[in-house]
Amino acid sequence: MQAGEIRNGNTFELDGNVYQVIEFQHVKPGKGAAFVRTKLKNVISGGVVEKTFRPTEKLENAFVERKDMQYLYEDGSLYYFMDMETYEQLPVAEDVVGDSLKFVKENEMCKICSYKGSVFAVEPPLFVELEITDTEPGFKGDTATGATKPAVVETGATVSVPLFVDQHDKIKIDTRTGEYLSRV
């Protein structure tokens, strides 16, 4: 692939690292040669860098595999996922998983991201429905202020919820931001 063909979401290899394009801009100044300004995310470490390329510069495509797998269970510092086609189990280390499973229950589907067979990230579903296991009692009609209170969900994570939400309510959560969306 040439740098002039870069688009958002493309992945390529550069200096032994794998980068994904977050933003790009083709710049044609009035004087001098055109260039491509990019903002790149290192898919393995998560770091973001800005780089400029000449449009004719060659970049090595990197194929990042995203596979749907079912989260089975946690055993010590390993998290186990199952491929739903082959029923093979894949152990993933705790440092790779990080905080991505804090809203995910066992038996839910996740995306496992790998490059050349090595797993570097786990993407939870965008939205999950969880039951509240512990929170202070709610008050009817106290919704005008927009005030929130902490609530612990069944995975052990804490979420800020409106005052009217009670224990044992099921709520919908955005896993990217950790925000309460609605009652279910």
* Exposure of 30 in the CB half-sphere (CA atoms within 13 A): 0
Averaged pLDDT of the chain: 87
Q: 3-61 belongs to which CATH class?
A: mainly beta
Question: Domain segments of the chain: what residues?
Answer: 3-61, 65-123, 128-183
The model's pLDDT over 94-140, given as tens digits with 9 standing for 90+, comes to 888 888 888 999 999 999 988 888 888 888 899 999 999 998 886 66
Per-residue pLDDT, 138: 66
Superfamily for domain range 128-183 = Nucleic acid-binding proteins (2.40.50.140)
**65-123: which CATH topology?**
OB fold (Dihydrolipoamide Acetyltransferase, E2P) (2.40.50)
pLDDT at 142: 57
Residue 159 has a pLDDT of 92
Q: What is the pLDDT of residue 72?
A: 93
Dump pLDDT digits (tens) for 125-183.
Answer: 999 999 999 988 866 655 566 788 899 999 999 999 988 888 889 999 998 888 999 98
pLDDT digits (tens, 9 = 90+) for 22-77: 899 998 988 888 999 999 988 877 788 999 999 899 999 888 888 999 999 999 88
pLDDT at 137: 81
DSSP string over the chain = -BGGG--TT-EEEETTEEEEEEEEEEE--SSS--EEEEEEEETTT--EEEEEE-TT-B-EE--EEEEEEEEEEEETTEEEEEETTT--EEEEEHHHHTTTTTT--TT-EEEEEEETTEEEEEE--SEEEEEEEEEPPP-TTTTSS--EEEEEETTS-EEEEETT--TT-EEEEETTTTEEEEE-
